[in-house]
Amino acid sequence: MVSRRQFFGRGAALALGAGLVSKAGAASLPEAPQMDSAAMQPPLAPPDGRPYRPVATLNGWTSPWRAKDGWKEFHLVAEPVQREIAPGMVANLWGYNGQSPGPTIECVEGDKVRIFVTNRLPEHTTIHWHGILLPSGMDGVGGLTQPQIPVGKTFVYEFEMTKSGTFMYHPHADEMVQMAMGMMGFLVVHPRNPKAVRGYAEVDRDFVFLINAYDIEPGSATPKINTMLDFNLWTWNSRAFPGIDPLVVRKGDRVRIRFGNLTMTNHPIHLHGYDFEVSGTDGGWVPKTARWPEVTTDVAVGQMRAIEFVANAPGDWAFHCHKSHHTMNAMGHDVPTTIGVDFREVAKRIERLVPGYMAMGDRGMADMGEMEMELPANTLPMMTGRGPFGPIEMGGMFTVVKVREGLAANDYRDPGWYAHPPGTVAREWTGEPFAAPRATGGAAHSPPVELQVRKPGAHGHH
């Protein structure tokens, strides 16, 4: 990662058009930092300006900025990138500053921000600041509120952050292609005066991620951009389980998790072991009087949510989308169901022709969690991951919230698997077998019910 000292130091000589950034301005552009790691980077504490607790981006990072003449300056570069979806698979995507999603942008309510955007894609682009209240000409809708950013050119966006909250950025140019290729990023605006913001509370750990999805055929690396709904890789920050970082939390911490949905469908996000409150949306913070306890919250397309809870129960707690196909990696959607089918004779005949052939699916799909079948290159198993008790049998949008005692305040390192206290793990019953009592047949003696049915008339009255 480029250091902050390096970030301040060098300018970039860029070819510019339409005079939006002059040649003199180009010589003084802040450097665009690059990231080549898919591991979560430590939260970036603000080096100047008003203090705040920085966010931790799952499998991501926060962009440094340059303070200049009362403005915070950032530099994003739209470009082709390679992103490791999980160990064993790398995708050819488009993103910002070397990664998909791009770096998280953090600032404070009242900040004046200047964001330079350089286009190194093979086509024009723009950036829309999703949820931010700003002048119309800075909204980033190509052709409507601004010219498209041509290939090789740099545009500048300037606006003041008028309210705190949870936001995101993405193109509004050839949107179907560019978002299907992974172009998006998170934007967090911290309150200027936290105690004065209704519904806002200080937290000890603040995590962020974006929900995205891809259709990448087994053996290939580039998404199919025309897919509407039938995606086969469901990801958080362009990572699939087991490649998604765990959320490491100290017992007793107040925790906030923010997420935004830029897929083509809704996602019911479920946390085990806790109930939580939805404390924020992309429209703002939710007052305490308007909240209710939940264990699952649905986030629709284009929406953002912030949830909060106090981490008072140590353990390893699953955190995932509750659509079961969204916690699996690439699968064949047209494979017929064969549960209960006796394959034994057919399998013997096929094995004579195809040595090593195995019939699958007649007893369910759990065997896939144990088996290590040969896969096409650059392809993830449909069900994968191992825990302390065996196969986890997950993929896609799944990770673990790891709550531990004794962690340091800013320690986000993976602590390993939870050591359960004796007697607190489900186990096989080894006592005396017992017969389950059967229900009595009292219902059979209930008097018959006579139903009166009236056929509707021909006039269609309601």
pLDDT at 129: 98
pLDDT at 45: 95
User: Nearest to residue 214, comparing CAs of 118, 83, 120, 317?
Assistant: 83
pLDDT at 21: 59
Query: Domains plus CATH for the chain?
Result: 4-200 (2.60.40.420)
For 177, the 3-state DSSP assignment is helix
pLDDT at 350: 78
Q: Are 282 and 303 in contact (CB under 8 A)?
A: yes
Q: Give the whole-angstrom CA distance, residue 143 versus residue 114.
A: 21
Determine which helix (DSSP H) or strand (DSSP E) holds 71, and give its type and residue range. Answer: strand 71-86
Q: Are 113 and 159 in contact (CB under 8 A)?
A: yes
pLDDT at 461: 47
For 319, the 3-state DSSP assignment is strand
pLDDT at 369: 54
Q: What would the DSSP string read from start to end of 396-461?
A: SSEEEEEEETT--TT--S---S--PPTT-S-----S---PPPPPPSGGGGSPPPPPP--PPPTT--
pLDDT at 10: 33
pLDDT at 194: 95
pLDDT at 118: 98
Q: Give the whole-angstrom CA distance, residue 427 versus residue 110.
A: 56
For the chain, residues with pLDDT lower than 70 are 1-27, 331-339, 357-373, 439-462
Q: Give the whole-angstrom CA distance, residue 22 versus residue 15.
A: 9
pLDDT tens sequence across 318-347 = 999 999 989 988 765 566 666 677 777 777
From the number of C-beta atoms within 10 Å of its C-beta (0-12, 13-18, 19+), residue 177 rates as middle
pLDDT at 456: 52
pLDDT at 20: 58
> In terms of pTM, does the model score above 0.75?
yes
pLDDT at 18: 25
